[in-house]
Amino acid sequence: MPYFFRTHNNRPSRPLFEGLWFGAIFFVAVSLAVTNANVDGLGVVVAQDVESPGSVKKAGSGVRVDLSRDLTLQEALRTLSDESGVLFDQPLQPDTPIKPPDRLLNFWPALDDILEQTSLDIDAYKSSRNKWRLRPVLPGRSRRTRASSYQGNYRIGVSGLSSRRDLLNPELSDMRIEIDLSWTPKIALLAVTIPLNNVSVTCDNESELLSKKTGRIDIATVRELPWARFELPVGLPEADAGSIRKLSGKIYALVADDVKDFEIPLDSASPPQVAGGITIRNEGLLLKGLVHEIRLGIDVKFPASAMESHREFLVGNSVHAVHRDGRRADKKNFELYRQGPEGIGIAYEFDLGPMSEGWKIIYRSPTTVREEAIDFKIEDLPLP
């Protein structure tokens, strides 16, 4: 019987959009997580004439997890849950012993260490945003920490390498390196950019594998899927190369932050409310029987690369109605009536009774976006 561990998140920063991480398993619904069209079947857009990012904050050290004493599996997972707000569904006995690491670890290396000790893995197909199902590792699976790099709240891992030799057109021959980025459930990540000129691939014979593409890879994230996968196409390795000695690069992540509750009264006219890069206005109130349709216009001033995924986050933000006497009403339904490059219009339906007097709408949303730089370096990858 699986064991569940509910956690509580008392940290005030970035409490919205949190999802789950699946380590080196990112093969679910990749088509939902990438922007626009495919390029050579990669499911990513390669933009030309990439410029160096401007002011970028380097990803921080992340939250340390204290597993310094002898713990059971149940206790160790509960400690991780206290930092993530995720339920773990696992098949082992809860008193399975866990050997403590020799130092404090961030969330991802701590999780990988626990999973390696217990020979467990994350089943991406049977996991959801707030509940991760663990299963026994598949035979022959590489160690989780072998092909991974950690920085703060992020984990970068290589999940696969494949080579293809085109006998009719040798210029089309290449090797694809499948790279996965994951982030902690407390991160509201909107978009990911990988400048290809920052990626370096060096084999054990000191030869360089050059990227077959130029520009950058842009990926729009999905609210329920806090991971992203991209493929790096490089030239075929030389015959005497036995492994990739070092794979390194830099990834830029746009992260939503500074959550605010916008309060929109329904019984009086109110000016647009502005906070950070968000502007919210009441665009109409219509009574349909006992159901009120309330239209909110939401405009944003965020980078264009974040808008596609941020539009989904705007729709999924928490919203409810509160009466001055303390009564609460949750939305019954909603639909988009307008969407554009700088914002959306959402029509919410609430059962407020015959009168809207005394009611106000509470709409919760991040109001700023920051860019973080994530450096990664992965060593000793076997060639296919």
Q: Which domain CATH number covers 361? A: 2.60.40
Cα angle 362, 365, 371; round to 5: 170
Statement: residue 167 has pLDDT above 70 = yes
pLDDT for the residue numbered 309: 63
pLDDT band at 30 (very low <50, low <70, confident <90, very high): very low
Neighbours of 344 (CB within 10 A): 20
- What one-character DSSP code corresponds to residue 52? -
User: In this structure, is residue 1 part of a structural domain?
Assistant: no
pLDDT for the residue numbered 292: 93
Residue type, 284: G
Which of 51-55, 107-111, 183-187, 348-352 is modeled with the greatest confidence?
348-352
User: In this structure, is residue 283 part of a structural domain?
Assistant: yes
Which of 240-249, 260-269, 337-346 is modeled with the greatest confidence?
240-249
| Interatomic CA distance for residues 20 and 139, integer angstroms | 24
Alpha carbon distances (Å) from 183 to 253, 281, 369, 377: 10, 33, 16, 16
Statement: residue 51 has pLDDT above 90 = no
pLDDT band at 185 (very low <50, low <70, confident <90, very high): confident
Share of the chain above pLDDT 90, in %: 44
Find, among 356, 255, 271, 265, the residue nearest to 313 by Cα: 255
The token pair that represents 276 in the structure block: 């950070």
pLDDT tens for residues 211-258?
Answer: 888 889 988 787 777 778 899 999 999 999 999 999 999 999 988 888
What is the pairing mode between strands 87-89 and 131-136? parallel
Same domain as 338, residue 279: yes
Same domain as 50, residue 186: yes
Same domain as 147, residue 42: yes
| Interatomic CA distance for residues 307 and 191, integer angstroms | 9
What is the average per-residue pLDDT within 86-112?
A: 88
Domain extent for 345: 258-368
Same domain as 243, residue 174: yes
pLDDT for the residue numbered 22: 37
Which backbone phi and psi does 28 adopt, to 5 degrees? -90, 125
| Interatomic CA distance for residues 187 and 354, integer angstroms | 41
Same domain as 282, residue 248: no
| End-to-end C-alpha distance for the chain, whole angstroms | 39
Higher pLDDT among residues 277 and 296, named by residue = 296
Higher pLDDT among residues 80 and 320, named by residue = 320
Work out the mean pLDDT of the chain and round it to a whole number: 80
- The DSSP element (H or E) to which 121 belongs, if any, is strand 120-122
pLDDT for the residue numbered 20: 32
Domains in the chain, number: 2
| Interatomic CA distance for residues 214 and 39, integer angstroms | 12
The answer to whether the predicted template modeling score (pTM) of the entire model surpasses 0.85 is no
Q: Decide: helix, strand or coil at residue 111.
A: helix
pLDDT for the residue numbered 186: 78
